[in-house]
Structure 1
Amino acid sequence: MSIEPIGLFVIGIGLLCLFADYRNVLVLTIFATVFGAASAMFLGSGNIPPGHVLLGLCAVAILSRKESCTAFLRVLHPDRPGFWLASLVIYAVATAFLYPRVMAGWTEIVPLGSTEFDSAGSTVPLGPVSGNITQSIYMIANLLCFALVAAAAASPAGFRAAVAGLLAYAIGNTFFAVMDLATYFTGTADLMGFMRNARYTLHTEAEAEGLKRIVGAFTEASSFARSSLGVLGVTGTLWLCGYKPRLTGVLALASLVLTALSTSSTGLAGIPVALGLLYLTALSRCGTAPRAWFSTAAVMAIPLIALLLTLTLLLQPAILAELHGYFDRILLSKMDTDSGVERSSWNSYAIGNFFDTAGIGVGLGTIRSSSLLTGLLGGVGVIGTALYAVFFATAFLRNPGPKGSFPTDVRTAARNGCLCLMAGDLMVATTIDQGLFFYVLAGIAAARPEEAAAPSRAPAGVSTQGGIVA
């Protein structure tokens, strides 16, 4: 095992936060999940990202407190979404180690975590692959992340710390995207080398249609676009709710523009989904909740803006033709490219694996797909897909609470962020691992700070107004 400089840095900052206050560790952990192309340490040939390293410190900080430990166990109660996520993870890990061995040779697969497919250019018979191990570790980490965030956010102060972490993530996602562009055009891309040290294939210098493919702190444009869609869902909702409108408004607008300019088909296809969710949120709040001015303004202004843009494009056919050509090449014709054909074949094989095993699946981490849905069906089968569906429904489809309250606004923002990430996952996810950021948002969406003790019972020295300890 070797520790990288960025690993030493985040561990040092994490320890300082740990001794200061557990909420600061939570903020740092959420922020660190933005480093999608970084490795804090290497375990053999495996990458351990900064967010996963800090997750361990976050567990120590939260589970060492009696109240948070109790909340952690409550998250896993059968009437909570955490129970269904835990059931999914336990079942999925079991399939990762059993199914490829028990059903060896039953079907042909596109293997995950193996060089056999890349070198041979064809499928291989079903059998164990290294992805069974790595995906099991990632899913366990996702469960731990969800439960820790939901437990920490079960107190009013912890809930506000989680919100601070979300804003820090959003700022970092935007900042690193701007830095990516600035360093690319000034020939100083090496300045970002400290956070691009993971042993993945990095696409940091790619261009499309004469534009730099924005990757920010991630490995490729599609990963950055997916992250920015989640940020747009979160910050756009918080802006509609009137929470720090100058900050959240700027972050939402920046995320929208950067996603559109990222040259990622994932981003372009996901933008209408994100904007649709935001508009539905504005309609639901318009005139019915406190601080609804921003929602009311959005409901009234967006149709007018859309009309003006439509008229402008109709009166400027050259601009319309240029935009149509850009969208056609980046999005509409994507399936005709080598990448699109390859990804379609992954989905076809995943569906074939589902039927070849009579709906049982071939095991977590066994196959590569190009959609969360086909990954679930082909990997963990009917049972795993059903468990995920129940988790999704209990975490995101329940009533977030009374309109206008701060917890309700934040839970709605977290839910919208998850749905925006889901839009990307349904299009391009190669595995069912949706990453720590998704489960951070899911944990906040499922948190119930109203069940916590009264603020007056908070420990001495801890602010009961929800701010981070000074």
Structure 2
Amino acid sequence: MTVTFIGLIMAAIGLLLLIRGSLAGMLAFLMLSGMMGGSAAIILTAVGGSSIPPAQFALAFIWLRMVIPGSRFLDSLGPAFKENLWLIVFVVYGLVIAYVGPRLFAGQINVTPLRFEGGDGGLFDTSPLMPTSQNMTASVYLIGALLTAVATYVACIYRGGANALVKTAVVIAWFHSITGIMGAVGRGTPIETFFTLLRNANYTQHNQAYEGFIRINGIFPEPSSWAAFAFSWFVFLAECWYRSIEPKATGRAALLLGLVMFFSTSSSAYVGLGGYALFFAARIALFPTLASHSRIKEAAIIGLAGAVLTAILLAALPAFTEAIGEMIDDMLFAKADSESGRQRLFWALQGLDSFVVSWGLGIGPGSFRSSSLATAIIGSCGVIGVVSFVAYLLAVFEPRRGSSWGASGSLAARLGGAAATAAVVSQIPSLVAAPSPVPTGEFAILAGAALALRRVKPRNMQQGGDGEADAGIEVEELPPLRRGWRISE
């Protein structure tokens, strides 16, 4: 086991927050750590070079903050686990089948493993199913997703948690966008060397250029993972803006992140943005009474401005706009007929084959590489995995609530609705790109926050074990996000 320089820096920050920080500060630390998607805090040389990413490392500190002697956060863990019951079922079954599945069905099916031992493997290469270190890695990440959701739940029911969630999301949007732009503009300069140093995890580094366009990947190993991370926070911020939660700050951050995603040349970004646009339009049509007229007006202005800008570019730079159009066409519509598209389809169909071979039990997380979250869950976790994960999505989103569809209810309810919508809608890119059934850390944070914020009920403030107030209070008593900037009705 080797602790990297990133791990040492994070350990110093985590210890400082552990001594002098709050649980809300720990939540911000956890969220910000997710931006280091290509980094490793600890490299496990004994497990095939697998690594512990910064987000998992930060998770340890937020849990230490909750269970440290003298803290009363332990009283909130029971309700937190109860609210995440369906995720517990999903994770526990995933752990069991990750151990049993590849042994019970060993050799009965050939699969493309998550990582080929002793070689990179061809486009359609497979090997007989057998237990691998990736089953262990996937199990650890499953546990991490559950612990992240529970920790976020606890943080958000205490004073400062909701504000930390929104404020940190805005910071993430700006930092993630700026580093993405810097990485693209600084290609071939010392900036690229610095970013390469930060991407110290044992991930495959892909070619970051397409037909003369420099692809955006920031500190992540590839544009698709950069875009998937960006899309989660883009949807959350856009939903906050739609519900008039600090609309200036959240709206600007979402707009910037959306623009950078558009130029990232990632098919995951285009699928996500397209899917969210359809969801946005359908929601307004189905629930017009829950839509803010000012938000609809602003969205129309943004759309009109985009159309005018496109027309100007077509007239002034026809060659450039034609190249952009061809790139989008190749990334979306022509991708299915490409070699990469056929490979992704082959990976996705493995999930269905695994489901049939395992009689609906699944062959275990980490047993094969997929290209879709849906087929990854079907093939890895079988019927129980599908039912528990869908049930968890419904528990998080709560479709019968007005706050799930628009600006309805108290501030806490609207913020919970924004997090719930983002948790579900952010899975759109995963449906066409996820290699395994493990939910992302961003999904776990948003889901945990949604479950917590919707349980907030006005009552007298109560003190936590370290002086932090319970979030079950009047909304106007929430502390400001920053000087002069406060979550407001």
- Partner secondary structure for residue 221 of structure 2: coil
Indicate how the Cα distance of structure 1 residues 245 and 19 shifts in structure 2: closer, same or farther if over 3 A, else same.
Answer: same
Counterpart residue type for residue 68 of structure 1:
F
In structure 1, distance between residues paired with 2:237 and 2:165: 14
Are the aligned partners of 1:412 and 1:445 in contact in 2 as well (CA < 8 Å)?
yes
Q: Determine whether 1:418 maps to 2:423.
A: yes
Distance 1:155 1:283, change over 3 A: farther
- Partner SS for 1:377: helix
- Which residue pairs with 1:71 in the alignment? 76
Equivalent runs, 1:382-393 vs 2, <5 Å:
382-393=383-394
Q: Is the 8 A contact 2:174 2:253 kept in 1?
A: yes
Please state which structure has a larger fraction of its residues in helix. Answer: 1
C-alpha distance in 1, partners of 2:481/2:273?
33
Given the superposition, is the C-alpha separation of residues 5 and 266 from structure 1 closer, same or farther in structure 2, using an over 3 Å criterion?
same
Structure 1 residues 157 and 313: alpha-carbon distance in aligned structure 2, compared to 1, 3 A threshold: closer
- One-letter code of the match for 1:83? L
- Runs of 4+ more than 4 Å apart: 279-289, 302-323, 456-464, 467-470
- Are 2:159 and 2:468, in contact at CA under 8 Å, matched by a contact in 1? no
Q: Does 1:157 align with 2:151?
A: no
Q: Secondary structure at the match of 2:125?
A: coil
Q: Hey, what's the Cα distance between the residues in 1 that align with 2:482 and 2:311?
A: 52
1:392-428, Cα deviation, whole Å (9 max, x unpaired): 1111234275815322232222223223420000001
1:454 to 460, 470, 478: 460
Q: 2:50 is matched with which residue: 46, 52, 58? A: 46
**Equivalent residues in 2 for 1:49-448 (5 A)?**
49-64=53-68, 67-77=72-82, 80=83, 82-115=84-117, 118-119=120-121, 122-184=125-187, 186=189, 188-203=191-206, 206-279=208-281, 292=292, 294-298=294-298, 300-301=300-301, 304=304, 318=318, 321-398=322-399, 399=401, 401=403, 403=408, 405-448=410-453
Relative to structure 1, the CA distance from residue 163 to residue 336 in structure 2 (aligned partners, 3 Å threshold; closer, same or farther) is same
Distance 1:119 1:388, change over 3 A: same
Aligned-residue offset at 1:271: 0.9
The letter of the residue matching 1:336 is: D
Counterpart CA distance in 2 for 1:152 and 1:388 is 23
TM-score (norm 1): 0.89
| Mapped contact 1:96–1:364 kept (Cα < 8 A) | yes
Give the distance between the partners of 1:267 and 1:249, measured in 2 at CA: 18
- For residues 178 and 324 of structure 1, the distance between their equivalents in structure 2, rounded to whole angstroms, comes to 21
Q: Sequence identity of aligned pairs in percent?
A: 26
SS of corresponding position for 1:297: helix
Contact 1:282 1:298 in 2 (8 A): no
Secondary structure of the corresponding residue to residue 197 of structure 1 = coil
Give the match for residue 16 of structure 2.
16
The letter for the 1-side match of 2:51 is N
When residues 348 and 416 of structure 1 are mapped into structure 2, their CA distance, relative to the original with a 3 A threshold, is same
Q: In the TM superposition, what whole-angstrom CA distance separates every residue of 1:333-352 from its partner, at most 9, and x where no partner exists?
A: 11222222211111222211
Call closer, same or farther: CA 1:315–1:156 in 2, change over 3 Å.
Answer: same
Deviation at 1:71, TM superposition (A): 2.0
> How far has the Cα of 1:456 moved from its partner?
5.6
Instruction: Rate the CA distance shift 1:404–1:300 in 2: closer, same or farther, 3 A.
Output: farther
Q: 1:31 to 1:281 in 2, by over 3 A?
A: farther
Q: Tell me the CA shift for residue 452 of structure 1.
A: 8.0
C-alpha change, 1:75 and 1:468, in structure 2 (3 Å) is same
Number of corresponding residues: 464
Shift, 1:23, TM fit: 1.9
* Corresponding position: 1:465 with 2:472: no
1:167-201 deviation digits (Å, cap 9, x = unpaired):
33323322321221232164531122342111111
* Cα distance between partner residues in 2 of 1:56 and 1:302: 42
Gaps of at least 5 residues in structure 1 are: none
8 Å Cα contact 1:362/1:380 also seen in 2 = yes
